[in-house]
């Protein structure tokens, strides 16, 4: 490996490219830099979207993703990995192989599946490959409520069902799962003033907070997962990395309370 020109830990993001910059790799890079880590990236898909519309995408080949990652690993020692948009089964399989073959750190995986404006971000065969091949290698999975419901095969309506779903997801092989309750809070008037997430890593930890009324932030999922990966890269514990990431997202939300551009883009 060549001598690094940066003293901080290196965080690799493997994710989609959002040309608007609100989500995907651009958001990941900004977040990783905010935590004083060096971001490096491999693109899985080039999407065509803005804050209002998802217009399509051109996905990379598995070979392209491999070549990008191998070039990065050839120069840098990777301290943490964040994985986002994995649109095809071939890319999922290749990322799983790279994780094992290159002895990469167990990744933080944000299993982004679909845009709320109708864009499919992960094909069905890619979802099956994710469950079969990548989840057993995953250090932390960060699904939102719809993603967790699909992974667990059950509805989630409250904290009790969040716990049950997290247990089922851990049975798929992930070391830890953080279920983000934002979608649950939006649907449940009893918790609409709260922003509570559930971590299951063998024990249950609740991260509780207050929602910022009217605040929405597109790309919050990739920001959160990238911030967690940056914390882990610096040697911070999982729980403290999650708390710091939540605080970071909350600050971003507080800075943009009047924005109404939340949409699931590539993460």
**pTM summary value:** 0.89
The distance of Cα 205 from the centroid of its chain, to the nearest Å, equals 19
The verdict on residue 249 lying in a domain is no
Q: Give the integer Cα–Cα distance in Å for 216 and 182.
A: 10
The distance of Cα 161 from the centroid of its chain, to the nearest Å, equals 22
Q: Quick one: angle between helices 220-233 and 238-255, nearest 10? A: 140
The verdict on residue 258 lying in a domain is no
* DSSP, res 103: T
Number of domain units in the chain? 1
Inter-residue contact 24 to 265 (CB < 8 Å): yes
Give pLDDT tens digits along the chain (267 positions): 445 556 689 999 999 999 988 889 999 999 999 999 999 999 999 999 887 888 899 999 999 999 999 999 999 999 999 999 999 999 999 999 999 999 999 999 999 987 655 567 898 999 999 999 999 999 999 999 999 999 999 999 999 999 999 999 999 999 999 999 875 654 454 445 667 999 999 999 999 876 655 456 667 888 999 999 999 999 999 999 999 999 999 887 776 644 333 333 344
CATH number at residue 19: 3.40.1190.20
The verdict on residue 197 lying in a domain is no
What b/e string do you get for 9-23 counting C-beta neighbours within 10 Å, with b at 16 or more?
Answer: bbbbbbbbbbebebb
Residue 145 belongs to what domain range? 10-173+216-242
The verdict on residue 188 lying in a domain is no
């Amino acid at each position: 490996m060549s001598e690094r020109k940066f003293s901080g830990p290196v965080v690799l993001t493997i994710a989609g490219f959002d040309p608007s910059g609100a989500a995907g790799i651009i958001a990941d890079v900004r977040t990783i830099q905010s935590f004083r880590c060096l971001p490096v990236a491999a693109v899985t898909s080039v999407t065509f979207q803005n804050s209002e519309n998802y217009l399509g995408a051109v996905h990379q080949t598995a070979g392209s993703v491999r070549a990008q990652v191998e070039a990065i690993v050839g120069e840098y020692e990777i301290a943490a990995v964040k994985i986002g948009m994995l649109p095809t089964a071939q890319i999922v399989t290749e990322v799983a192989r790279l994780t094992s073959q290159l002895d990469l750190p167990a990744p933080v995986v944000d299993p982004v599946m679909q845009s709320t404006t109708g864009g499919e971000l992960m094909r069905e065969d890619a979802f099956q490959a994710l469950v079969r091949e990548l989840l057993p290698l995953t250090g932390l999975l960060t699904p939102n409520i719809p993603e967790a419901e699909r992974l667990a095969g059950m509805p989630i309506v409250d904290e009790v069902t969040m716990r049950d779903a997290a247990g089922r997801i851990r049975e798929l092989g992930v070391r830890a799962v953080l279920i983000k309750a934002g979608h649950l809070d939006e649907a449940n008037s009893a918790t609409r003033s709260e922003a509570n997430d559930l971590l299951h890593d063998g024990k249950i930890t609740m991260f509780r907070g207050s929602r910022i009324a009217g605040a929405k932030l597109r790309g919050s999922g990739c920001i959160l997962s990238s911030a967690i990966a940056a914390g882990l890269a610096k040697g911070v514990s999982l729980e403290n990395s999650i708390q710091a990431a939540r605080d970071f997202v909350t600050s971003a939300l507080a800075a943009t309370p009047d924005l109404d551009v939340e949409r699931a883009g590539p993460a």
